[in-house]
């Protein structure tokens, strides 16, 4: 009778050698791939990982009252109010234009004062009352300034309109809507690429002369 055990050891040894060879080839392929990866790509990957780690450890608690609703958030200290409103609270009416405080598209009210939210850190607004374009209307009832912009066609593409309206409301509240020249001066921080300035001025003048509460 043939002894089956006589061939078992050689077969086992062959399997071990095959496995070792496969593992060696896999390791060699991985090392080669890493070695051939361009240095900038490795550096970029490392920087991305560092940012993710830093983001996890650096977040701080912030309380923001936005349009009458309290939000308890965890944000990065460097996050702007604009990005928090758009990305975490999902209020996308406030627009990101130049992102350098030059166009006014991101204008919101903080404790009743207009600010460029792209230049305002979220942590600086903690505990304050914030109003965005979504907070002006009362349900289906538009704010008087919104109605005036519609009536006087104070927009074309509409991208700058939320910031224009927020600044227009502030312009009247601040007492700077007493003449066309004054309105133009105190609305100069809001740029309209479509050039609807005359219509915007007309809308503000109507609301001001109507004595409506803004």
Tell me which residue has tokens 């090392």. Answer: 31
Domain with CATH 3.10.20.30 in the chain: 48-135
In this predicted structure, what is the pLDDT of residue 56? Answer: 61
Per residue in 57-69, pLDDT (tens digit) is 689 999 999 999 9
Q: What is the pTM of this model?
A: 0.75
Report the CATH fold assignment for 136-214: DNA polymerase; domain 1 (1.10.150)
pLDDT at residue number 50: 67
Place of tokens 């490392």: 46
Residues of the chain with pLDDT under 50: 6
Exposure string (b/e) for 153-187, b if CB count within 10 Å is 16 or more? Answer: ebbeeebbbbbbbbbbbbbbeeebbeeeeebeebb
Per the CB < 8 A criterion, the answer to whether 100 and 160 are in contact is no
Contacting residues for 3 by C-beta, under 8 A, at least 6 apart: none
Q: What is the pLDDT of residue 212?
A: 82
CATH 1.10.150.120 in the chain is located at: 136-214
Q: Which of 77, 62, 67, 81 is nearest to 120 (CA)?
A: 81
Helix (H, G, I), strand (E, B) or coil at 154: coil
Residue with tokens 């001066």: 185
What is the reported pLDDT for 30? 62
The whole-number pLDDT of residue 160 equals 98
**C-alpha to C-alpha distance for 182 and 187, rounded to whole angstroms:** 8
How do beta strands 113-116 and 129-131 pair?
Answer: unpaired
DSSP class of residue 75 equals E
Which positions ≥6 away from 212 have C-beta within 8 Å? 144
**Which residue is listed with tokens 């051939």?**
36
Please give the Cα distance from 203 to 151 (Å, whole number): 8
- Give the CATH fold of the 48-135 domain: Ubiquitin-like (UB roll) (3.10.20)
Predicted pLDDT of residue 157: 96
> Distance (Å, rounded) from C-alpha 207 to C-alpha 183?
12
Burial of 25 (0-12, 13-18, 19+ CB in 10 A): exposed
- pLDDT at residue 58, as a whole number: 85
């Amino acid at each position: 009778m043939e002894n089956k055990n006589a061939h078992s050891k050689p077969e086992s040894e062959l399997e071990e050698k095959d496995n070792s060879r496969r593992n060696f080839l896999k390791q060699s392929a991985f090392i080669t791939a890493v070695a051939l990866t361009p240095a900038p790509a490795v550096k970029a990957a490392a920087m991305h990982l560092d940012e993710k780690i830093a983001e996890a450890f650096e977040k701080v608690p912030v309380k923001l009252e936005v349009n009458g609703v309290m939000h308890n958030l965890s944000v990065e200290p460097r996050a702007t109010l604009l990005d928090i409103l758009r990305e975490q609270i999902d209020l996308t009416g406030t627009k990101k234009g130049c992102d350098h405080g030059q166009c006014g598209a991101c204008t919101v009210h903080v404790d009743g004062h207009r600010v460029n939210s792209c230049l305002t850190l979220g942590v600086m607004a903690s505990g304050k009352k914030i109003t965005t374009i979504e907070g002006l209307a009362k349900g289906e009832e538009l704010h008087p300034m919104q109605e005036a912009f519609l009536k006087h066609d104070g927009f074309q593409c509409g991208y700058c309109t939320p910031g224009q309206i927020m600044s227009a409301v502030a312009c009247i509240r601040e007492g700077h809507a007493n003449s066309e020249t004054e309105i133009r001066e105190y609305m100069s921080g809001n740029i309209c690429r479509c050039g609807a300035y005359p219509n915007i001025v007309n809308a503000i003048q109507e609301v001001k002369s109507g004595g409506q509460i803004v």
